[in-house]
Chains A and B, each alone.
Chain A
Amino acid sequence: MTNPSTDSEPSWFERPQNIKKLTGALVVSCVVLVIADGFYENPHPHFDLETSFGFQAWFGFIAFVVIVFLGRLLRLIVSKPEDYYERRR
Chain B
Amino acid sequence: MNVVANLPPGWIMIAGALVLLLAVPRTMHSLGVLVVSAISLVSFLYRFSFSEDVTFGNIELFGAQLQMVRVDKFSRVFALVFHIAAIVAAIYALHLRDTKQSIAAMVYAGAAIGAACAGDLVTLFVYWELTAISSVILVWATNTETAYRSGMRYLIIQVASGVLLLSGAIFQFVQTGSLAFESFVVDGQSLSPAGILVLLAFGIKCAFPLLHNWLQDSYPNATPTGTVFLSAFTTKLAVYSLIRGFAGYEPLIWIGCAMTLFPIVFAVIENDLRRVLAYSLNNQLGFMVVGIGIGSELALNGTVAHAFCHIIYKSLLFMSMGAVMLRVGTTKATELGGLHKSMPWTTAYCMIGAGAISGFPLLSGFISKSMIISAAGEAHLFWVWIVLLIASAGVMEHSGIKIPFFAFFAHDSGKRVDEAPLNMLVAMAIAAAFCIGLGVAYPLLYRILPFDVDYHPYTVTHVVTQLQLLMFAGLAFVFLMKSGLYPDEKRATVLDTDWVYRRALPKFVRGLRVTVDTVGGSMRGDTNVVLQSFYQNAKSTFDENGILGRTWSSGTMAFWTTVLLATCLGIYYF
Contact = CB atoms under 8 A, between A and B. Distances in A.
Interface string B477-507: 1111000011100111111100000110000
Q: Is the interface of A mostly helix, strand, loop or mixed?
A: helix
A79 B269 contact: yes
B393 A67 contact: yes
A30 to B, nearest CB: 5
Interface in A1-44: 1-2, 4, 7, 11, 13-14, 23, 26-27, 29-30, 33-34, 36-37, 40-43
Q: Which of A7, A33, A34 has the most chain B CB atoms closer than 10 A to its own CB?
A: A33
Contact of B465 (A56, A62, A63): A56
A72 to B, nearest CB: 5
Contacts of A37: 464, 468
Contacts of A36: 464
A19 B473 CA distance: 18
Interface residues of B, number: 58
Interface in B442-470: 459-461, 464-470
A60 B494 contact: no
B475 A30 contact: yes
Contacts of A43: 459, 461
Q: Which of B468, B486, B492 has the most chain A CB atoms closer than 10 A to its own CB?
A: B468
Q: Is the interface of B mostly helix, strand, loop or mixed?
A: helix
Contacts of A69: 485
A40 B394 contact: no
B413 to A, nearest CB: 12
B493 A85 contact: yes
B493 A40 contact: no
A47 to B, nearest CB: 6
Contacts of A78: 266, 269, 494-496
A75 to B, nearest CB: 5
Contact of B460 (A40, A47, A55, A84): A40
Given A2-B342, A13-B340, A85-B493, A57 B265 contact: no
B390 interface: yes
B502 A57 contact: no
Contacts of B485: 68-69
Contacts of B468: 30, 33-34, 37, 54-57, 60
B475 A46 contact: no
A80 interface: yes
B442 to A, nearest CB: 19
Contacts of B459: 43
Contacts of A58: 472
A57 B491 contact: no
Contacts of A26: 471, 474-475, 478
Given A67-B393, A71-B269, A82 B465 contact: no
A45 B282 CA distance: 29
A57 B478 contact: no
B385 A56 contact: no
A34 B464 CA distance: 9
B493 A63 contact: no
Given A47-B377, A55-B465, A61-B475, A81 B492 contact: yes
A29 B360 CA distance: 14
Given A40-B460, A47-B377, A78-B495, A14 B412 contact: yes
Given A26-B478, A64-B476, A75 B487 contact: yes
B418 A13 contact: no
Contacts of B120: none
B473 A64 contact: yes
Contact of A79 (B340, B378, B490, B502): B490
Nearest to A6: B341
B272 to A, nearest CB: 10
Given A71-B265, A74-B269, A82-B491, A47 B465 contact: no
A71 B416 CA distance: 31
Nearest to A58: B472
Contacts of B378: 46
B480 A65 contact: yes
Given A47-B385, A57-B468, A64-B473, A71 B268 contact: yes
A56 B389 contact: yes
15 contacts: A26-B478, A33-B464, A36-B464, A55-B465, A60-B396, A60-B469, A63-B390, A64-B472, A67-B393, A68-B486, A71-B267, A75-B269, A78-B495, A80-B494, A83-B493
Which 4 A-B pairs have CB atoms at the shortest separation, nearest pair first? A71-B268, A46-B377, A64-B476, A60-B469
Given A7-B342, A68-B480, 7 more contacts: A14-B412, A29-B467, A33-B464, A61-B473, A67-B264, A67-B393, A81-B493
